[in-house]
Amino acid sequence: MLGEAANPQALQTLLEVSRFQQPRDLELRSTAFDSERWVRLIATPFDQSLAVWFADVSQAKHHEQEIRESARRKDEFLATLAHELRNPLAPIRLAAGIFGSAAASDAQKLRSQQIIERQVRHMALLLDDLFDISRITLGKLVLRKEQVDLRTIIEAAIETAREKIEAKQHELVVALPASPIVLDADPLRLEQILTNLLNNAAKFTPNGGCIRITATRDGDTAKVSVIDNGLGIAREHLRLIFERFAQVPVAGTHINSGLGIGLALAKGLAKLHGADLRVRSEGLGHGAEFNLTLPVLPSSTAGASRDVSESVTLNKRLVLVADDNQDIAETMARSFGWRATRCTWRLTASKRSSVICSSSQRLWCWTSACPANGVTKWRG
């Protein structure tokens, strides 16, 4: 029953119980079945004989291994998160010092400003992904659906990912249909899915590679494919690709795989849309293909799709910015001010409601980071 590999250990256990008259309870790995099994063996001396029980504990053993693996991935994630958040701080600190130095030239100050903006943008994107995957897990992320043309979303995602694609001198091949593919979807979240897929392809494809993004319609579904000729994925790692915090090793490279949440986030957002996201790879060195399948609106109900990027004119608006962080409130107010908008700010959280209700501003803004039920709100 225990198989040839486990029999010697089981037999030795039974002999020891018989000889020393001491009960034994142990778990053995069995190879007697088509798949690996774990068997619990309990042997007890009984009236000059042995009472022996066998129990299949494979399911409990595998569950225990999954718990240990999950804990290990979370530990790795926390270490990686600390590293990813700490990395931008050094250039920000140095650039801020140069920017504030009287001896620095205008060119040096401009360069320092660009460094700070780039590093802050990197940190903001990192934290946005963390918040999003947390809200998906807790079931608190709400989609803002509207009729959109899939081609427009793809073009927006390409523009967002273009910097990373061009930085590694990849060739980007785009194949979109001539006719609209109208979906009922959240345009920003759908763009986020495709941007993550394009960024992933750019990251794990060596310099000068080729990335293809295509869109096709088949009846009541549409399929978007992102294909690269990059490093590929080992067969045994395919199941981990969409797992949160999974760090898939990339042999022979120095690529930092990051936090391991980008593809998990894409998968979660796809599910919220009633879509399916899958990956294919023939193995290491053979690239990867991600396929996103989405439900399409029937032609009879699909109205004119709206552009996903709508600009908001703030000229001649009165704006009130309220936040419990002075730096955030003041810099946001100055940002609106650069757009020829009359703006004021308040350093408040708990009194935010009374401030807003008594104000005459035509546009109100406060951030979701505030306590006291703070939410992002715009009112024209």
pLDDT digits (tens, 9 = 90+) for 143-197: 999 999 999 999 999 998 998 999 999 999 999 999 999 999 999 999 999 999 9
- How buried is 361 (Cβ within 10 angstroms: 0-12 exposed, 13-18 middle, 19+ buried)? middle
Mean pLDDT, all residues of the chain: 77
- Classify 64-137 by CATH class: mainly alpha
Q: Which residue has the higher pLDDT, 91 or 72?
A: 91
- Picking from 201, 254, 261, the residue whose alpha carbon sits closest to that of residue 229 is 201
Does the structural domain 146-295 have CATH classification 3.30.460.80? no
Could you tell me the pLDDT band of residue 229, with boundaries at 50, 70 and 90? Answer: very high
- Residue 240: the pLDDT is 84
Q: What is the pTM of this model?
A: 0.59
Could you tell me the pLDDT band of residue 316, with boundaries at 50, 70 and 90? Answer: very low
- Give the HSE-up count for residue 308: Cα atoms under 13 Å, Cβ half-sphere: 25
- Residue 249: the pLDDT is 64
Domain definitions of the chain by residue range = 3-56, 64-137, 146-295, 318-366
Q: Is the pLDDT of residue 247 over 60?
A: yes
Q: Quick: pLDDT tens for 17-57.
A: 777 788 888 787 776 656 677 888 888 887 777 787 777 88
- Residue 134: the pLDDT is 85
Query: Which H or E run contains 50?
Result: strand 49-56
Query: Which H or E run contains 312?
Result: none
| % of residues, the chain, pLDDT over 70 | 71
The Cα–Cα gap between 277 and 281 comes to 14
